[in-house]
Amino acid sequence: MAVTKKGVTDALKEVIFFKKQNNIVDLGMIHELNINDSHIKVSVVFPELADPSVGIITNSINKVLKEKFGNDITVDIRPMSEKELGKGPMAGVKNIIAVISGKGGVGKSTVAANLAISLSKAGKTVGILDADIMGPSVPIMFGVEGQKPGVIERDGKGIMIPLENYGVKILSIGFFVAPDQALMWRGSMINNAFNQLMTDSEWGDLDYLVIDMPPGTGDIQLTLAQSYNIKGTVLVTTPQKIATADVRRAAMMYRQEKLVIPLLGIVENMSYFVPADMPDKKYYIFGRGATDALAEELNIPILGRIPIVEKIVETGDNGEPITLDDHSPVTAAFTDIAANVMKEVEKVDA
């Protein structure tokens, strides 16, 4: 059978990139395709070359082409990264930071939102992605609830334009779901929604993209670890032993052999209570010491401790995160946390 460009392209449509649940042709992963008699040369673009899917797809390409055109052909496959080509929706994002917790109710979203603003106030270009599919709260915290991101068309595909407030670009599944709508989604639907927020969006050039992850160790955590170049994770816990036990399980997920992502450190939220009329007093309502023990066990730093302050809740509910108040002691704590995160990222890059 004669080797033609159309024939090769049709054959390559049988090669599926399972993480995005489509074939490599329709996903636009074929960068170059050259045919010289029985020699086929194809360049394939991946989000990351460290992805195990690179080897799987390379083998699949070789297999389907030889099945169609015979074993006498030679196939030269060159994997390339999106960043290598300066392409891809994430090409301009330097550092992706995932904010994670082992359980709900520890203030993970509050930490993610105020970390994003603190990084912005430090002079960095920042975005935040609300990946907490079942409980998106970032639109409320940033005062953009009820708004919708813009959409442009590129290569026949709709691309979302993040909203922006307080110097931070914002995307959330909450923009597309009614407040009283219950999401009853299976794993594939959750992953598709997450991938669309990540890759079907015009993030532009960012120093940091902060991801507010769902609690626990589910589908989105696996997709994030396997499909994207994550610079590191920030663990959020409260001082109780039961909370640190849950965050330990979340942390160990990212230390599995095939999912190694640096743990940048721990943020201890609700560390202590300071009465407004007695600013020198500290009451350790939820105990103390468990976070220090966990940090020592994991050999990672404590990035900072956030006190219990009523204004944190008030400002978050009002869409004006507390770090916008330069005079709040909580703002000072988040300023230190942002500085420590940047320092740990530098260590990863070193």
Contacts 24+ apart (CB under 8 A), 187-195: 187/218, 187/219, 188/21, 190/133, 190/218, 190/219, 190/220, 191/19, 191/219, 191/220, 191/223, 192/21, 193/133, 194/131, 194/133, 194/220, 194/223, 194/224, 195/19, 195/20, 195/223, 195/227
For the domain spanning 5-85, the CATH number is 3.30.300.130
φ and ψ at 287, to 5 degrees? 85, -175
Does the pLDDT of residue 194 top 90, yes or no? no
Higher pLDDT: 255 or 115? It is: 115
pLDDT per position as a tens digit, 2-55: 888 999 999 999 999 987 778 899 888 898 898 888 899 998 988 777 778 899
Q: Which CATH number fits domain 93-349: 3.30.70.1290, 3.40.50.300, 3.30.230.10, 1.10.1670.10?
A: 3.40.50.300
Separation in Å, CA 279 to CA 33, 134, 324, 334:
68, 37, 21, 18
Chain centroid to CA 99: 8
CATH 3.30.300.130 placement within the chain: 5-85
Residue with the two structure tokens 């960012």: 206
Pairing of strands 157-161, 263-268: unpaired
Percent of the chain with pLDDT over 70: 89
Q: Mapped to the 3 state alphabet, what secondary structure does 274-325 carry?
A: CCCCCCCCCECCCCCCHHHHHHHHHCCCEEEECCECHHHHHHHHCCCCHHHC
Asked which of 120-124, 223-227, 327-331 is least confident by mean pLDDT, the reply is: 223-227
| Residue 59, pLDDT score | 93
Q: What is the pLDDT of residue 349?
A: 80
Overall size of the chain counted in residues: 350
Residue recorded with tokens 């080509």: 85
Lowest mean pLDDT, pick from 88-92, 312-316, 330-334: 88-92
Evaluate whether 316 touches 113 at the Cβ level (below 8 Å). yes
